[in-house]
Amino acid sequence: MTLAQRAPVCVLGTGLIGGSLLRAAVAAGYPAFGYNRSAAGAEAARRDGFDVSTELGAVLRRAAAEDALLVLAVPMPAVAPILAEIATLAPDCALTDVVSIKRPVLDAVRERGLGARFVGGHPMTGTSESGWSATDSELFRDAVWAVGVDEGTGVEPWERVVRLALDCGSVVVPVVADEHDQAVARISHLPHVLAEALAAAGAAGGDLALGLAAGSFRDGTRVAGTAPDLVRAICEPNATALGRVLDETITALVTARDALAANGTLGDVVEAGYRGRTAYEARARWDITGIVPGEDGWLSELRRAGQRGGVLRVL
């Protein structure tokens, strides 16, 4: 490792994801510090020995002075106000984020003129808990970390973000913003909505139904235990893509219900689901190699590799 590989990291927002990232970065040997809006959260982090302040201006000035990689780790509604501060105080810093959708973040970043140094990110991990007390330096171990390869991405900030993700123990999937948002609508936001609907339907059966519930209900409703505000913050900013996949799913369920009424069979959904689960279990992560950042077409080559299930394990 050279010094450049361990350039400082500045985490903005030290909740579950940001706080875990601060822990993981420090554990991997990065000089790292952070900002948190709530004094209680910052104080909890400081008690655990981490350098977290509630003074956003001071934190951003320090990040600019140290050429830190800024990591936006706040919910979507808080992104725009922080970007305004960054544009004023640390406009030349490399910038990434860990927000669960990518297009709205990318648009907000570009609106502020910060696009040249920005690389979107989304570690596909979490728990149903939140806040500093839930943070864990191992949260990213063996996780998938989506990293942006949108047009105009700069080599230097991209390499910094990928290196950080790898150093936290994740593998990297290169993806552009819109395709990311469509994919996570299917494999993250739809699961949340279906878990909510299932939990509500089960509880409508009263104590008898909940008393008979076993593994299929337990697993199918697990993420419905997530705080409602957090579920909304994760899903609702992806309204367009989520609406489209909800449409698809409603159509599949209506077809099943109608087939059940007409001839007592659930129809194709059973085989389609079995094939889908089988494909998920059989998915092979193959290693992307031979693409040199900065060479002609590197971004579109990485994008295509990600589409086909490729991951980066080394830089």
**Cα(93)–Cα(71) distance, integer angstroms:** 10
Give residue for tokens 């007409």: 262
Distances (CA, A) of 233 to 79, 148, 192, 237, 239: 12, 21, 12, 7, 11
**Interface positions, 112-151, toward its own copies (CB under 8 A):** 124-126, 143-144, 146
Which residues inside 157-196 make contact with its own copies, applying CB under 8 A? 173, 175, 179-180, 182-184, 186-188, 190-196
3-state DSSP helix/strand/coil % of the chain, to nearest 5:
60, 10, 30
For its own copies (CB under 8 A), the number of binding residues is 98
Q: Is 315 in the site for its own copies (CB under 8 A)?
A: no
What is the distance between the alpha carbons of residues 293 and 156, in angstroms, rounded to a whole number? Answer: 9
Among 80, 217, 293, 315, binds its own copies (CB under 8 A): 217
Residue closer to its own copies, measured from CB, 156 or 271: 271
- DSSP-assigned letters across all residues of 108-166: HHHHTT-GGGEE-EEE----S--SGGG--TTTTTT-EEEEE--TT--HHHHHHHHHHHH
Among 92, 111, 156, 271, binds its own copies (CB under 8 A): 271
Binding-site member from 1, 2, 3, 279 for its own copies (CB under 8 A): 279
Q: The tokens 């003129």 sit on which residue? A: 113
Residue 192: beta bridge partners? none
4 lies in the binding site for its own copies (CB under 8 A): no
Nearer to its own copies, 3 or 261 (CB): 261
Of the candidate spans 57-65, 67-75, 106-114, 302-310, the one that interacts with its own copies by CB under 8 A turns out to be 302-310
- Minimal CA–CA distance to 251: which of 265, 268, 234? 268
Token pair of 150, please? 């949108």
At its nearest, how many Å lie between its own copies and the CB of residue 28?
Answer: 21
Q: Is 274 in the site for its own copies (CB under 8 A)?
A: yes
**Least distance between its own copies and beta carbon 314 (Å):** 18
Query: Can residue 242 be called a binding residue for its own copies (CB under 8 A)?
Result: yes
Asked if 67 and 85 count as a contact pair (C-beta separation under 8 A), the reply is no
Stretch that binds its own copies, among 59-67, 76-84, 113-121, 239-247 (CB under 8 A): 239-247
- Going by DSSP bridges, is the β-strand pair 144-148/121-123 parallel, antiparallel, or unpaired? antiparallel
Shortest distance in whole angstroms from residue 102 CB to its own copies: 11
Give 102 or 163: the residue with its C-beta nearer to its own copies: 102
Counting contacts by CB under 8 A, is residue 77 touching its own copies?
no
Question: DSSP state, 147?
Answer: E
CB of 265 to its own copies, least distance (A): 6
Q: Single out the residue of 47, 61, 277, 313 in contact with its own copies (rule: CB under 8 A).
A: 277
Nearer to its own copies, 87 or 233 (CB): 233
Residues in the chain: 315
The C-alpha atoms of residue 222 and residue 191 are separated, in whole angstroms, by: 10
Q: Which is nearer to its own copies, 47 or 257 (CB)?
A: 257
Report the site for its own copies in 248-267 (rule: CB under 8 A): 248-250, 252-254, 256-257, 260-261, 264-266
**C-alpha atoms less than 13 angstroms from C-alpha of 98 in its C-beta half-sphere:** 30
Read off the tokens for 127.
Answer: 């728990």
In whole angstroms, the minimum distance from the beta carbon of 136 to its own copies comes to 14
For residue 208, what is the enclosing H or E element? helix 206-212
